[in-house]
Amino acid sequence: MDFNVNIGLEGEAQELVTQENTANKYGSGEIEVYATPAMVGLMENASLKAVDPKLPEGFATVGIDLEIKHLAATPIGMNVRAKAILREIDNKKLIFYVQAFDEKEMIGEGIHTRYIIQVDKFLQRMQEKGKQ
């Protein structure tokens, strides 16, 4: 099946650093700076924005792998922007180069892999799993 995705597709996502997305709030640290889990989520969001709108009706992507480096801390009050570029396609597996920036510098980078799924079949498997 042709999923209408091509190498080079890009997506972006952004958010403001607040108390809600700090390491202290996430439980990933005790300091009130932008949390690594928040940055990872933003990178995933940028990746899905690159491809999910182009997929046929009833299809979506799910994250399956992350290799991320958090390079610099970001204080509360700064904006953070994530960018994803689709670098490789292997059937339903999509591999992205992802970066995150605050208002001063690059704060993170890495590789994120997503997989194209058929939503109804995926949800059916999850319902069956929940019944076990």
Q: Which residues are catalytic?
A: 36, 44, 70
Q: How far apart are the first and last CA of the chain?
A: 32
- C-alpha distances in Å from residue 121, one per residue of 19, 60, 74, 126, 127: 37, 11, 40, 9, 10
CB 103 within 8 A of CB 19: no
